[in-house]
Amino acid sequence: MIRFECDYTTGAHPKILEALVNTNTEACPGYGVDAHCEHARAMLRELCQAPEAGVHFLVGGTQANTTIIAAALRAHQGVLCADTGHINVHETGAIEAAGHKVLGLPNSSGKIEARQIDEYCQDHFDNPAWEHMVQPGMVYLSFPTELGTVYTRAELEAISETARRWNLPVFVDGARLACGLAASDITLPDLARLCDVFYLGGTKAGLLFGEAVVINNPGLNKDFRYHIKQRGGMLAKGRLLGVQFEAFLTDRLYEEIGKKEVAQAMRLRESFVKKGWPLLVDSASNQQFPVLPNGVMAALEEKYSFEVWGKVDETHTAVRFCTSWSTADQDVNALIADIQGL
């Protein structure tokens, strides 16, 4: 079986494993205060051009999302996001379990607009019963989105300006940020400038595990390690995160991985379009969503794994093909050849 259902089917990039092996017997203090974590923090601050940023390492995306949102919001506040956002549909109610409502905004591409944030906040505070409703307290964006789409710098600037006018911190979920950077005009310094907090995801980009949270809001950064510990996110062997991110950031390995993932996905996209299969959305990242005739889907499932996204009509289904750091040319070539042969 050739696997395209997600971007974490394999272990770790060789450079990540090499770094772990080379430091395996090195004794370090625990809980992320070792020299490797400090070095990785300094590297990320330099790449973001944000020397005062707080940098914290967590293990996974849901853990990072829950910890960040719980740290940022007061008890009566919720978080605005696209109704297709990961925190709304794919985290088993983790945000609600932490005591905060997810305020979903309708969309057709996975993205939300500055206008929607402005309208939601205006409607909330114009309502005579405003204090009886959950107050919008944060804006959450996925980059790339769950549908593979990406924000432009201009879109992010507009969202940031609107959110700050309403005193809402902007949080970018960067579980697939390496791909987002490869597929858009947004840079790490842009994110540091326009967002209160974001993270550079490693789990879906060649690390065994790990997400690097960058906080540019001093109020949010204060006491953040208390929140990490309280949410079960403080890894005793924190050096494992620092070592991996040192390797991930050295010579911008994350850029190399992101570009490869996107390039392989574009090859698949071209083959879908050439075959005449419509795309559910116009995705520029490593997730591609062709709409397949059900018979074609069944034929491909004999050899390839991919995610069934949803029924389009009685005879067609949208599916997701996802590339990763380890997606091999021969596997992409095989899939393209089989598509052409159908």
The residue from 221, 253, 285 where one domain ends is 253
- Does 207 share its domain with 321? no
Q: Which residues of the chain have pLDDT under 70?
A: none
Q: What is the total count of domains within the chain? A: 2
The residue from 212, 228, 253 where one domain ends is 253
- Does 292 share its domain with 230? no
- Does 271 share its domain with 248? no
pLDDT at 291: 98
> What's the CATH number where 331 sits?
3.90.1150.10
pLDDT at 108: 87
- Does 100 share its domain with 27? yes
Domain range spanning residue 153? 14-253
Residue pLDDT, tens place only, 213-242: 999 999 999 999 999 999 999 999 999 999
- Does 327 share its domain with 223? no
- Does 226 share its domain with 315? no
- Does 289 share its domain with 223? no
- Does 186 share its domain with 78? yes
> What's the CATH number where 239 sits?
3.40.640.10
- Does 230 share its domain with 154? yes
- Does 207 share its domain with 126? yes
- Whether the model clears a pTM of 0.85, i.e. scores above it, the answer is yes
pLDDT at 66: 98
Half-sphere exposure of 65 (CA within 13 A, CB side): 28
The residue from 200, 218, 253 where one domain ends is 253
- Does 58 share its domain with 74? yes
- Does 201 share its domain with 337? no
